Amino acid sequence: MIKSIDPVACVNCGLCEKVCPADLFRMVEDHMTIAYQGDCCNCLQCRYVCPVDAIEFAPVESTKLDMNGEWAAIKKLMGAEDNPMAEITRLPPWELAKRKAASGEADESDQNWKG
């Protein structure tokens, strides 16, 4: 989600206001401001057009657009449960390689992740 506009860098050119599909920006007293931060849709267009790279983004979920948990809800509707093996399969390859090495089951493909 959009975080802030660097007030020092910003030249108030108005490009972000133009490209924003969610209509977030407003020019207030000759200064560009983020008026409706919560509506940000992360399209990053303002960031692409900003000539001075003044716009910062933060990895925060917008509460308005938060669809997290949808898949869990669907699984519940389905009556499906995760396989217990999923926890292990889900691990990133280096973690898997470590575990395999610890239990002495490492094979050739795990060598890539050594060290």
Q: State the residues that interact with another protein by CB under 8 A.
A: 1, 17-23, 35-36, 38-45, 48, 59-68, 70-71, 73-75, 77-83, 85-86, 89-93
CB of 51 to another protein, least distance (A): 14
Computed on alpha carbons and rounded to an integer, the radius of gyration of the chain in Å comes to 23
CB of 89 to another protein, least distance (A): 5
Element (H, E) at 5: strand 2-5
Contact 17, 32 (CB under 8 A): yes
The residue among 31 and 64 lying less far from another protein, judged by its C-beta, is 64
Q: Hey, what are 61's tokens?
A: 């979920």
Rounded Cα–Cα distance for residues 64 and 23 (Å): 15
CB of 104 to another protein, least distance (A): 18
The residue among 68 and 103 lying less far from another protein, judged by its C-beta, is 68
